[in-house]
């Protein structure tokens, strides 16, 4: 069983999480959320462990009830220039900077923190242990999933709505046959191989 999280001394916490480090296509999307203690949200959990229907319902509730929330992102070209880790840190900085209320402390899912103007703490498995991080994971995942569905409408042969850009066998097969789209991350090995083989989708 995971240890319960003990909040450090601070008045206002923001939780931050990312979605999309592993996919071959699209942005890495982050969210920052400051919850309202007076308006609790029941059922917050790691977004990956929730059904899509539950995620969507919680998304609407978080947007309505949070004291402040913000999305951040790093595009494929930035991921290729910086690498995925540094691009993720940049996207997290953008999410925190977008909050209209400045938190005293930022709780980040994972084992490292981006440089921020306020105190921060990395929380391993924070999306399962910290309500603010769970809320951020839900906003980020719903946002990125919607973007993949929109991309699927533009490039219907790749199956983006199903695999959300992750390197499934189907995605890798389509990448090899059809080549990379302009939204693929060129620094990722399967995409690089597809480009080197000379195919690129229009």
Cβ neighbours for 88, distance < 8 A, ≥ 6 positions apart = 18, 21, 28, 30, 74
What is the model's pTM? Answer: 0.94
Kindly give the residue spans of alpha helices, DSSP state H, lying in 30-182.
Answer: 52-65, 76-82, 84-97, 126-129, 131-154, 160-163, 169-178
Give CA–CA dist 198/82, Å, rounded: 24
pLDDT value at residue 18: 97
Q: pLDDT by residue (tens digit) across 13-31?
A: 999 999 999 999 999 999 9
Q: pLDDT by residue (tens digit) across 83-140?
A: 999 999 999 999 999 999 999 999 999 999 999 999 999 999 999 999 999 999 999 9
């Amino acid at each position: 069983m995971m240890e319960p999280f003990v909040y450090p001394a601070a008045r206002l916490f923001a939780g931050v999480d990312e979605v999309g480090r592993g996919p071959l296509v699209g942005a890495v999307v982050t969210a920052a959320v400051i919850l309202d203690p007076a308006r609790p949200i029941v059922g917050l959990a790691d977004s990956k462990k929730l059904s899509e229907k539950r995620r969507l319902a919680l998304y609407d509730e978080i947007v309505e009830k949070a004291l402040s929330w913000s999305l951040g992102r790093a595009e494929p070209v930035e991921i290729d220039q910086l690498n995925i880790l540094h691009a993720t840190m940049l996207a997290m900085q953008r999410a925190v900077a977008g909050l209209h209320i400045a938190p005293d402390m930022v709780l980040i899912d994972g084992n490292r923190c981006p440089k921020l103007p306020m105190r921060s703490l990395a929380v391993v498995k924070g999306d399962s242990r910290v309500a603010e991080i769970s809320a951020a994971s839900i906003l980020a995942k719903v946002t990125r999933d919607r973007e993949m569905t929109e991309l699927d409408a533009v490039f219907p042969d790749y199956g983006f709505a199903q695999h959300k850009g992750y390197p499934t066998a189907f995605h890798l097969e389509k990448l090899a046959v059809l080549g990379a789209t302009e939204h693929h991350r060129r620094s990722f090995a399967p995409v690089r191989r597809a480009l080197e083989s000379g195919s690129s989708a229009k």
